[in-house]
Chains A and B, each alone.
Chain A
Amino acid sequence: GQSLEQPSEVTAVEGAIVQINCTYQTSGFYGLSWYQQHDGGAPTFLSYNGLDGLEETGRFSSFLSRSDSYGYLLLQELQMKDSASYFCAVLSGGGADGLTFGKGTHLIIQP
C-alpha cells in the first residue's frame, strides 16, 4: 500500500515564507508532485521532483529526499491568493501509474 502524511492545516502571514512537509511510504516510488486546489476549484499542478534536491518555479520551490522518503513545498512572499489546499502526490510504478494523493494541507494566509 501507499501512504502520505502532511499537516492538515498551516497558518502564515502575508509576505512571509511557509514550508509544507510531506512524508510518504510507498512501493515503486518514482517521484513526488505538488498540486494546489482552491475551494470549489480543480487541482492545478505546481511542481514535480523526480530526483533529490530542490526545484524552483517562481515563488514556489519543492524539495525531495528519497533516502528520507520526505519532501516539502516552500512558498515565498506569500499572497492572500495563496490561501488554498496543497496536496503532495506520489507517482509510482515507474511513472506508469496514476497519482496517489495525500489528504492535503489547508494553508491560511493572514494579513
Chain B
Amino acid sequence: EAGVVQSPRYKIIEKKQPVAFWCNPISGHNTLYWYRQNLGQGPELLIRYENEEAVDDSQLPKDRFSAERLKGVDSTLKIQPAELGDSAVYLCASSPLRGPEQYFGPGTRLTVT
C-alpha cells in the first residue's frame, strides 16, 4: 500500500512569492490534515478535511494561506504571498477516520529568503 505522497520535497522561494504544496493521501482515507512543523517543534495543525469539507481551519492564517481538497482526494495548500516566517516543513497526513492514528507524508521543506 502506497503511503501519503507529497510534492515537492523541497522548495526555495523569495519572500512575497506564491508557493503551493500538493498531497495525495492513502487510498480510502477520508480525513486529511495539513500540519506545519518549525525546527525543534512539534507539528501544528493548520487545517483538517473530512472528505472535501474543511471541518477545522481555525489555525490557518487565512490572509495568506488557502487550501482545497477537490473530490475529497488530493489536496493543495497555497501560500500567497510567502513571508520569511513561513519557512518550515509542511506535513500532510491522512487517516481512515478521525482519530489518534494518522499517517504522515515526508513533508515539503519550504525556505523563504
Q: Which residues of A contact B (CB under 8 A)?
A: 31, 33, 41-45, 48, 50, 87, 89, 91, 95-104
Contacts and interface: CB of A to CB of B under 8 A. Distances in A.
Interface of B: 4, 33, 40-45, 48, 56, 91, 93, 98-107
Nearest to B50: A96
A48 B100 contact: yes
5 contacts: A33-B100, A43-B93, A44-B104, A45-B100, A103-B41
A100 B106 contact: no
A45 B102 contact: yes
A15 B109 CA distance: 34
A27 B11 CA distance: 37
A42 B104 contact: yes
B25 to A, nearest CB: 13
A101 B42 contact: yes
Contacts of B41: 103-104
Given A98-B48, A98-B56, A43 B100 contact: no
